[in-house]
Amino acid sequence: MRITDSIFARLALLFLGFLTLPTKYAHLRRLRLTAASKRVQNNVYFGWGVGRGDILLCNFSSFVQILALTYWFSPTFTAVVPGKGTVAKVSLTSAFWRSFSTPSMETNQQAVPLQKLVKSSDGPIVVFPEGGARTNGKGLLQFEPILTSEGGSCKSVSFLTARIHLLTFTFPAQMKSPAQPMGRFLSELLRMGINLQGLMKMETQSLSSNHIPGFRDQAVDPQNGDEDKLGCARDIMARMMGIKTLELAVQDYIEFHKYYHSLK
């Protein structure tokens, strides 16, 4: 089933105009993370170290990312419950349709701490820590507190945070962008469908927490939650993308989304 999903996702991306999917591993020296030698940089590649039960933290701008992640990793998708710090496991179909809807402050599915999914997942786990809000790729919203379990306990966090990977998606300014911060399903599909083949482009980078000094050993403060660790991840992702971090959160996105569509 996972192989079938991967094949379908790549065919869909070709149909939408993504003839190629440029990927690379983050440049360690450019990010000033480590004084790694050229040999270390040459031995890593996009998706390096990603395995079963690993967490893929991704920024979110378009349903195209759902297809690309399916093609590369055949992962388990999740929906973050804003303000709760919990996640719900969702199917590929659900993840795709959710990429066109406004994030909900509640979920009908059983939400659990992320640690529980790590132990039971048969593949990597995709998490959109901005709470499922879609941006235009020009800034990162605040991350939801997804690394602590219920009640603020940091039990099992040391195991969890040793298996985190940062994935960033950017869209070159000179190309047609698939970012859809306010679009709906039909309008976005029509907009992308009328573009000539090959005009769509998305660049993706990955970075394992193994190459972030001190990240794996950094404990989550039960008083402050996981703000420091997630703040570190967010800052690095912003540097990978060449954008700014924002003071806005998913709640602000939801309010603006309602206002935007009320004007139409």
**Whether pLDDT at 248 is above 80:** yes
**Whether pLDDT at 120 is above 90:** no
Higher pLDDT, 53 or 1: 53
Residue 225 confidence (pLDDT): 47
pLDDT digits (tens, 9 = 90+) for 102-118: 887 775 568 888 988 88
Q: What's the token pair of residue 220? A: 């989550």
Cα angle 71, 72, 77 (rounded to 5 degrees) comes to 80
Higher pLDDT, 105 or 65: 65
**Whether pLDDT at 181 is above 80:** no
pTM reported for the whole predicted model: 0.88
Average pLDDT, the chain: 81
Which has the minimum average pLDDT: 36-45, 84-93, 148-157, 184-193? 148-157
**Rounded percentage of the chain residues whose pLDDT exceeds 90:** 38
Helix H, strand E, coil C: the string for the chain is CHHHHHHHHHHHHHHCCCCCCCEEECCCCCCCCCCCCHHHHHCCCCCCCCCCCCEEEECCCCCHHHHHHHHHHCCEEEEEECCCCEEEEECHHHHHHHCCCCCCCCCCCCCECHHHHHHHCCCCEEECCCCCCCCCCCEECCCCCCCCCHHHCCCCHHHHHCCEEEEEEECCCCCECCCCCCCCHHHHHHHHHCCCCCCECCEEEEEEHHHCCCCCCCCCECCCECHHHHHHHHHHHHHHHCCEECCCCHHHHHHHHHHHHHCC
